[in-house]
Amino acid sequence: MGSNRRQLHILFFPLMAPGHTLPMVDMAKLFARRGVRATILTTPANAITVAASLGRASEAGHHVETLLVEIPHAEAGVPETLADANSVDGEMMFLKSTARLRDPLEGLLRKHRPDAVVSDMFFPWSGEVAEELGVPRLIFHGTSFFSLCLSDALQFHHPPPESSAGEEGGLYAVPGLPHRIELDRGQIPDVWRMPEFAEVFAKMRQAEKICFGVVVNSFYELEPEYADHYRKSVGMKAWHVGPVSLCNDEDGADMSARGGGIEQDNCLRWLASKEPSSVVYVCFGSLCRFTAAQLREIALGLEASRHPFIWVVRHPTGKGSPSSEPRLPEGFEERTVGTGMVIRGWAPQILLLNHEAVGGFVTHCGWNSCLEGITAGLPMVAWPMFADQFDNMRLLVQVLGVCVSMGGAKRYTLREEERPLVGAEEVARAVKVLMGGGGGEMRRRARELKEAARAAMGEGGSSYGDMGRLIEELLGKQITPETS
Ligand code: UDP
């Protein structure tokens, strides 16, 4: 940085959900390594995720601080983070409650006067506050360029409703994208059918019109046509700075602590007893819920596949109270001793994905998981359920060729009881394709992308360069540069 400029100060304000908080903490660490003063603003309930993930950034001399703010007038029964919600209604209540942070944010921006705010797409009101105070606001959506382009295309070309398609599951080719992308009508987001969500999304769109730009956790070489399309055709100013999880790479301790780790010694000892690339890692992120019947089919399918597996079974509350303990089929864990390991609650995902014994990943296609699988060079099975997960699946399967889709997972819905049951045979089949000979070409391609991801983040790489350009632009906008 030039001698007549102040140290750049950026405030990061993620949604209180691991899939948004973890990448933003990683991003803050990356900016801090480039000389930026980074502050993460979060609630006390989400602070543990932040603290565990900050690792030793500050010890290493990189300036990342955490600022806590309470959601005012919290009502009884409203979940404190998105992962604590146990139902769609709970999720909606939580999302609505975050808008009460508008006034506290305004106070904090006035007091701390950061040079820029990177805030979550779910906080459109933060854009209005930042604009009033003349602070550049960058939006973090937490998804791919591909998904951003697809949502934009769907805004302009509303697909006809499912019922008019003639038959269930008719395909809809989305106009105006770099590739021919066909959507199954049942997989088109149901936000349009849910007025509260439609309202939130309309506000987000509005906020995009007044933002300074968008930061994307992706790298150019992964989706060049979509990075270009988003900037040129959609017309958004965007910087790609990922895969941000690579900031944890050099330090095994950071990888295992990320997000509030578990005792992982057991897990690592177990993996050490397995052949290279022989274990399938199965995890559906921090928010997906399953019915008891679906959990049973997954268990039986993993058992029938006869491949070693690690399966992360999330507690419905995300907190793991004994009453919410998910029930697995009788005798399942005894029968799979030696071949399988069930992790209840939270797994050190990036540590496990990068273990040499892990050879494939069954994922719900949350964007972080997709990128983390790619960065670990793993072929994947896609089992999307909602949000951007179907978009990400299309990118992985149709464009990148590193993934097969789980045939039965067809319907976009936030409600687990509305999803068609994916049978054990389907689960076993997918795992066999992934871990058997069928995964060879996907594995080769995934390994190429792993190298490309590392190159993008290294000095001289595309993401490294884009972060540098963003820092320069923000320095150029500093309101009161020091002259001495
Ligand atoms: N994650 C983890 N351990 C778990 C579950 C999730 O470390 O047991 C991390 C995962 O590595 C990723 C994030 O939580 O960084 C989940 O984000 P993603 O976008 O994949 O899915 P979401 O949880 O938002 O659906």
What does each C-alpha distance from 195 to 92, 125, 190, 192, 198 come to in angstroms?
11, 19, 10, 7, 5
- Ligand 1 atom with the shortest distance to the CA of 285: 23
81 and 176 fall within a common domain: yes
DSSP state of 396: I
Q: What percent helix, strand, coil does the chain show, rounded to 5?
A: 50, 15, 40
CA of 18 to the centre of ligand 1 (A): 6
Checking if the pLDDT of 460 tops 90, the result is yes
**CA of residue 5 relative to chain centroid, distance:** 34
CA of 364 to the centre of ligand 1 (A): 10
Q: Which residues line ligand 1 (CB under 6 A)?
A: 18-19, 22, 258-259, 283, 285-287, 312, 346-347, 349-350, 366-369, 372
279 and 394 fall within a common domain: yes
| pLDDT, averaged across the chain | 88
pLDDT at position 319 is 44
Within 159-282, residue ranges assigned H as helices are: 195-209, 224-232, 252-257, 265-272
In a domain, 225, yes or no: yes
**Catalytic-labelled residue, pool 115, 120, 388, 391:** 120
Put the strands of the sheet holding 403-405 in their side by side order. Answer: 340-344, 309-313, 279-283, 358-363, 380-382, 403-405
Residue 42, strand partner residues: 68
In a domain, 251, yes or no: no
Residue minimizing CA distance to atom 16 of ligand 1: 19
In a domain, 253, yes or no: no
Give the model's confidence band at 408: pLDDT under 50 very low, under 70 low, under 90 confident, else very high: low
Checking if the pLDDT of 442 tops 90, the result is yes
73 and 210 fall within a common domain: yes
- Identity (one letter) of the amino acid at 256? S
- 155 is written with which tokens? 């805004």
In a domain, 252, yes or no: no
- Ligand 1 atom with the shortest distance to the CA of 372: 11
CA of 314 to the centre of ligand 1 (A): 11
134 and 282 fall within a common domain: no
pLDDT at position 327 is 81
In a domain, 292, yes or no: yes
- Ligand 1 atom with the shortest distance to the CA of 370: 20
Residue minimizing CA distance to atom 7 of ligand 1: 349
- Identity (one letter) of the amino acid at 400? L
Mean pLDDT across 386-396: 93
| Cis geometry, peptide bond prior to residue 104 (ω within 30 degrees of 0) | no
Mutation test of ligand 1: which of 286, 343, 358 has the most ligand atoms closer than 8 Å to its C-beta? 286
pLDDT at position 361 is 98
- Taking Cα atoms as reference points, which of 22, 12, 19 lies closest to residue 51? 22
CA of 87 to the centre of ligand 1 (A): 18
Range with top average pLDDT, 143-147, 200-204, 342-346, 410-414: 143-147
- 12 is written with which tokens? 């990061």
Residue minimizing CA distance to atom 21 of ligand 1: 366
The length of the chain in residues reads 484
Number of compact structural domains in the chain = 2
In a domain, 95, yes or no: yes
pLDDT tens track for 214-266: 999 999 999 999 999 999 999 999 999 999 999 986 656 666 667 665 657 78
Residue 364: which residues within 8 A CB-CB, separation 6 or more?
283, 284, 285, 288, 383, 384, 385, 389
Checking if the pLDDT of 419 tops 70, the result is yes
d(CA 126, CA 211): 10
**CB 42 within 8 Å of CB 14:** yes
Dihedral of the CA atoms 183, 186, 187, 190 (nearest 10)?
130
pLDDT tens track for 306-342: 999 999 998 755 444 444 567 899 999 999 999 999 9
d(CA 474, CA 116): 7
Does the annotation mark 240 as catalytic?
no
Q: What backbone phi and psi angles, to 5 degrees, belong to 393?
A: -60, -45
In a domain, 304, yes or no: yes
467 and 389 fall within a common domain: no
Residue minimizing CA distance to atom 6 of ligand 1: 285
Q: What is the CA radius of gyration of the chain?
A: 22
Q: First-to-last CA distance in the chain?
A: 14
CA of 285 to the centre of ligand 1 (A): 4
d(CA 311, CA 341): 6
207: left (phi over 0), alpha (psi -120 to 50) or beta: alpha
111: left (phi over 0), alpha (psi -120 to 50) or beta: alpha
- Identity (one letter) of the amino acid at 157? H
Q: Residue 291 sits in a domain of what CATH number?
A: 3.40.50.2000
pLDDT at position 192 is 57
CA of 193 to the centre of ligand 1 (A): 27
- Identity (one letter) of the amino acid at 119? S
What does each C-alpha distance from 214 to 144, 388, 457 come to in angstroms?
11, 17, 18
- Ligand 1 atom with the shortest distance to the CA of 83: 23
Residue minimizing CA distance to atom 2 of ligand 1: 349
Residue 358, strand partner residues: 279
pLDDT tens track for 50-103: 988 886 666 666 779 999 999 988 788 899 999 999 888 899 899 999 999 999
463 and 442 fall within a common domain: no
Mutation test of ligand 1: which of 369, 372, 391 has the most ligand atoms closer than 8 Å to its C-beta? 369
In a domain, 343, yes or no: yes
d(CA 36, CA 473): 13
- Ligand 1 atom with the shortest distance to the CA of 365: 20
Mutation test of ligand 1: which of 263, 368, 372, 390 has the most ligand atoms closer than 8 Å to its C-beta? 368
Residue minimizing CA distance to atom 17 of ligand 1: 19
Residue minimizing CA distance to atom 11 of ligand 1: 349
Read off the pTM: 0.93
CA of 141 to the centre of ligand 1 (A): 15
Checking if the pLDDT of 268 tops 80, the result is yes
Mean pLDDT across 1-6: 65
Q: Is 186 exposed, middle or buried (0-12, 13-18, 19+ CB in 10 A)?
A: middle
- 52 is written with which tokens? 């565990």
What does each C-alpha distance from 410 to 189, 249, 348 come to in angstroms?
12, 35, 29
Checking if the pLDDT of 168 tops 50, the result is no
d(CA 267, CA 274): 11
Residue 93: which residues within 8 A CB-CB, separation 6 or more?
77, 78, 79, 85
Domain range holding 388?
262-450
Q: Give ipTM to 2 decimals.
A: 0.99
Does the annotation mark 158 as catalytic?
no
- Identity (one letter) of the amino acid at 156? F
CA of 307 to the centre of ligand 1 (A): 23
**Catalytic-labelled residue, pool 20, 62, 141, 240:** 20
Give the model's confidence band at 480: pLDDT under 50 very low, under 70 low, under 90 confident, else very high: low
**CB 141 within 8 Å of CB 216:** yes
Residue minimizing CA distance to atom 24 of ligand 1: 19
276 and 222 fall within a common domain: no
pLDDT at position 30 is 96
73 and 115 fall within a common domain: yes
- Identity (one letter) of the amino acid at 455? A
Residue 414: which residues within 8 A CB-CB, separation 6 or more?
88, 91, 190, 386
pLDDT at position 411 is 75
CA of 311 to the centre of ligand 1 (A): 13
Give the model's confidence band at 155: pLDDT under 50 very low, under 70 low, under 90 confident, else very high: confident
pLDDT at position 213 is 97
Share of the chain above pLDDT 70, in %: 87
241 and 292 fall within a common domain: no
pLDDT at position 257 is 67
228 and 318 fall within a common domain: no
- 47 is written with which tokens? 């602070």
427 and 445 fall within a common domain: yes
168 and 309 fall within a common domain: no
Mapped onto helix, strand or coil, the DSSP state of residue 226 is: helix
